[in-house]
Structure 1
Amino acid sequence: MTQTIARAYHAHAHKDLTAQVALDYEGRFLRRKVLKTDDGQSVLVDLPKTTSLDHGGVLVLEDGREVGIVAAPEDLLEVTGPDLPRLAWHIGNRHTPCQIEEGRLLIQRDHVIRDMLGKIGATVREVTEPFTPEGGAYGHGRTHGHSH
């Protein structure tokens, strides 16, 4: 199999994709790694800095081909309840990545957060779905800790 170097990341495809790679949330945060595409290609991603790749984005290969990024299904917690904004605030206060949808929130499985949410009135159930949480409010992608 041919290994192709990916050196650039673009938020939107400009032409037809030649392949796709499915990555979970943690797997979409990378700098240098060999990935296997859905058609069996090995692609060495070699980005200048650690980058958060988004579902729907692309990697541009040296030869100009584009490989689409797809959010892979992963084990999550679905959070619902009568006061969803309040529940979202508590999740955000713990700097937990959160996918916000009409009527529900999705977070990574964490027994401590699950217990906390249950104590404040949330209904929590395990699901397996693609995870595409909100990015940073200042255009920096993922947020970690209190520095922005």
Structure 2
Amino acid sequence: MSDIPVAQVLKRGQGAGASETVVLDYDGRFLRRKRLVAESGLAFVVDLEKTTSLDDGDALELGDGRLVAVRAAAEDVLEIRGSLARLAWHIGNRHTPCQICDDHLVIQRDPVIRHMLEHLGADVRETVRPFTPEGGAYGHGRTHSHEHGHTAHAH
């Protein structure tokens, strides 16, 4: 028996009633063609026209109509506290994906960025938690290798 194909990606809020769940880390949620396995053991194949960034809360509609909820996996991250606007500017200047919370920032563990942030006076703590960074300013989900469209600036 072959794996079930994904028919379409449903963005957050459109996949109510999902009967299956797949848990993926940040890098794993950026895909075009891949075989995935839901927590129940159900195998399915993603074969999208273009590389797509999935967010926690999105869903995949399978060819047989079943819905698979996408959840962010816990992963090694750094929680950053301090002068958040200044620290966020330095993180963004390095095109590092960043999750923005009310009282702290979260990035993937990176010893070089950690050293820079500590040098800037940040309080940095290692932890393990789901990582759901901000999407790109132009709605593409990822901040690297981005396109802006016709009305924005060119690099």
**Where does structure 2 lack aligned partners over 5 or more consecutive residues?**
149-155
- TM-aligned CA deviation for residue 3 of structure 1: 1.6
Amino acid at match of 1:58: A
Amino acid at match of 1:136: G
- TM-aligned CA deviation for residue 126 of structure 1: 0.5
Taking the aligned partners of 1:127 and 1:95, their CA distance within structure 2 comes to 21
Structural mapping, 1:35-74, within 5 Å: 35-74=36-75
Taking the aligned partners of 1:93 and 1:58, their CA distance within structure 2 comes to 31
Identity among equivalent pairs (%): 58
- TM-aligned CA deviation for residue 6 of structure 1: 0.6
Taking the aligned partners of 1:147 and 1:40, their CA distance within structure 2 comes to 36
8 Å CA contact 1:95–1:145 kept in 2: the answer is no
Relative to structure 1, the CA distance from residue 15 to residue 78 in structure 2 (aligned partners, 3 Å threshold; closer, same or farther) is: closer
- TM-aligned CA deviation for residue 49 of structure 1: 0.8
Taking the aligned partners of 2:15 and 2:140, their CA distance within structure 1 comes to 23
TM-score (norm 1): 0.94
Moved more, 41-50 or 19-28: 41-50
Relative to structure 1, the CA distance from residue 8 to residue 33 in structure 2 (aligned partners, 3 Å threshold; closer, same or farther) is: same
Structure 1 or 2: more strand by fraction = 1
1:17-37 CA distances to partner (integer Å, 9 max, x unpaired)? 110000000000001111110
Relative to structure 1, the CA distance from residue 117 to residue 9 in structure 2 (aligned partners, 3 Å threshold; closer, same or farther) is: same
8 Å CA contact 1:2–1:41 kept in 2: the answer is no
Whether 2:28 is the aligned partner of 1:27: answer yes
- TM-aligned CA deviation for residue 47 of structure 1: 1.0
User: Runs (4+) of structure 1 moved beyond 4 Å?
Assistant: none
1:70-112 CA distances to partner (integer Å, 9 max, x unpaired)? 000000001001x111111110111000000011000001111
- TM-aligned CA deviation for residue 13 of structure 1: 3.1
Relative to structure 1, the CA distance from residue 22 to residue 146 in structure 2 (aligned partners, 3 Å threshold; closer, same or farther) is: closer
Moved more, 18-27 or 41-50: 41-50
Taking the aligned partners of 1:113 and 1:146, their CA distance within structure 2 comes to 21
**Where does structure 1 lack aligned partners over 5 or more consecutive residues?**
none
Amino acid at match of 2:102: E
TM-score (norm 2): 0.90
Taking the aligned partners of 1:59 and 1:14, their CA distance within structure 2 comes to 8
Whether 2:107 is the aligned partner of 1:111: answer no
Q: Which residue of 1 aligns with 2:140?
A: 140
Taking the aligned partners of 1:20 and 1:121, their CA distance within structure 2 comes to 40
Taking the aligned partners of 2:59 and 2:25, their CA distance within structure 1 comes to 15
Taking the aligned partners of 1:14 and 1:24, their CA distance within structure 2 comes to 19
Q: Which residue of 2 aligns with 1:16?
A: 17
